[in-house]
Amino acid sequence: MAAAAAAPCRHLSLVLVVALAVSVRGVWCSKSFTIANNCEYTVWPGILSGAGSPELGSTGFELAPGQSQTLPAPAGWSGRLWGRTLCATGKFACATGDCAGSSGGPGCDGNNAAPPATLAEFTLDGSGGMDFYDVSLVDGYNLPVLVAPQGAAAGGNCAPTGCLADLNDACPADLRVTSSGDAVACKSACEAFGSAQYCCDGAYGSPSTCRPSAYSEFFKNACPRAYSYAYDDATSTFTCAGADTTYAITFCPSTESVKSGAPGDPPLVNGTMAYTAGDQQQLGAATAAARPPSRLLVLVGGVAVFLALAGGRLITP
């Protein structure tokens, strides 16, 4: 009994008949999400359960820099998680990823993220008993997110995925969202222009007619494993066989956490990208937490002013 308690999943499924093992696995194999904030600014995770899926323990909460929180995942859970930034308390509202929860607090209460927002999407215990997950920029981008499975059984393409680059400053001008003059998010072409061609609607509603655009390629080049448009499935969907799997969801992950996937997976980070912002410019550097854009601009501006003053003094006799 003690041994079974120590390793419930594999032990029970070996010992019991298949049907019983399957029903017990649903109860005994606990899956969870561990949400961590590696950003230098506060992030408010938002969570939306899919239709017919039970709620997780929370629909939204605050995570200070360095904090993390683990939420148990009910068997068969499907839904999405994202990070909200620049939220004001009082009448709670966020500059990015806002969900306008009905309680007036940080909970999303069944509401979706306002685009643009980087989304982590999950369907646990789906087809073939596999967990399916992806990181999507189809609704745009607001901050770097990594999804890394831990403890899954062998099988599937169970690799880390995400968008590790900071794309807000690099965002094309016609997609950029600013707040108080800072670039804070980057719209999808579908949201910015609303055309069937970018939204994969109507005559463009199939994988053969909805093709990548220059805009979707901006996202795909920077974040090769993330969905860059609606039919980007081939390189963007990942699967894990069940077990006591924890899905670690990290905002502003260190680029040190870059891990390879299966042969044929695109890289998690495009090493040739020149325009990733902040510390992420030096891929593989010791620290890679993304800085809020405002402080970066102040720093760059300060250095420019200093150089101008110093230059002036040197030239003036």
Ligand X SMILES: *[C@@H]1O[C@H](CO)[C@@H](O)[C@H](O)[C@H]1NC(C)=O
Q: Which residues bind ligand X (CB under 6 A)?
A: 221, 224, 266-267, 270, 272-273
Q: In whole angstroms, how close is the CB of 209 to ligand X at the nearest point?
A: 23
| Cβ proximity to ligand X, 127 vs 272, nearer residue | 272
For residue 275 the two structure tokens come to 């325009």
For residue 85 the two structure tokens come to 């930034």
| Cβ proximity to ligand X, 267 vs 311, nearer residue | 267
Separation of alpha carbons 219 and 234, rounded Å: 15
Separation of alpha carbons 131 and 77, rounded Å: 9
| Residues 232 and 24 sit within 8 Å (Cβ to Cβ) | no
Mutual angle of helices 18-28 and 8-15, in 10-degree steps: 170
| Cβ proximity to ligand X, 31 vs 220, nearer residue | 220
Give phi and psi for 233, each to the nearest 5: -60, -40
Q: Please calculate the CA angle 235-258-151 and round it to the nearest 5 degrees.
A: 85
Q: In whole angstroms, how close is the CB of 61 to ligand X at the nearest point?
A: 34
DSSP string, 42-61: -BEEEEEEPTTPPP-S-SB-
Q: In whole angstroms, how close is the CB of 13 to ligand X at the nearest point?
A: 39
Q: In whole angstroms, how close is the CB of 223 to ligand X at the nearest point?
A: 9
| Cβ proximity to ligand X, 101 vs 160, nearer residue | 160
| Cβ proximity to ligand X, 8 vs 172, nearer residue | 172
What Å distances lie between residue 109 and 53, 206, 242, CA to CA? 14, 33, 28
Q: In whole angstroms, how close is the CB of 272 to ligand X at the nearest point?
A: 5
Separation of alpha carbons 169 and 162, rounded Å: 18
Straight-line distance from the first to the last Cα atom of the chain, in angstroms, rounded to the nearest whole number: 87
Q: In whole angstroms, how close is the CB of 274 to ligand X at the nearest point?
A: 7
Q: In whole angstroms, how close is the CB of 167 to ligand X at the nearest point?
A: 12
Q: Under DSSP, is residue 154 helix (H, G, I), strand (E, B) or coil?
A: coil
Q: In whole angstroms, how close is the CB of 222 to ligand X at the nearest point?
A: 7
- Nearest Cα neighbor of 168 from 304, 293, 260 is 293
| Cβ proximity to ligand X, 140 vs 224, nearer residue | 224
For residue 234 the two structure tokens come to 């081939």
| Cβ proximity to ligand X, 106 vs 224, nearer residue | 224
| Cβ proximity to ligand X, 112 vs 221, nearer residue | 221
Separation of alpha carbons 227 and 235, rounded Å: 8
For residue 292 the two structure tokens come to 């809020």
Q: Under DSSP, is residue 123 helix (H, G, I), strand (E, B) or coil?
A: strand
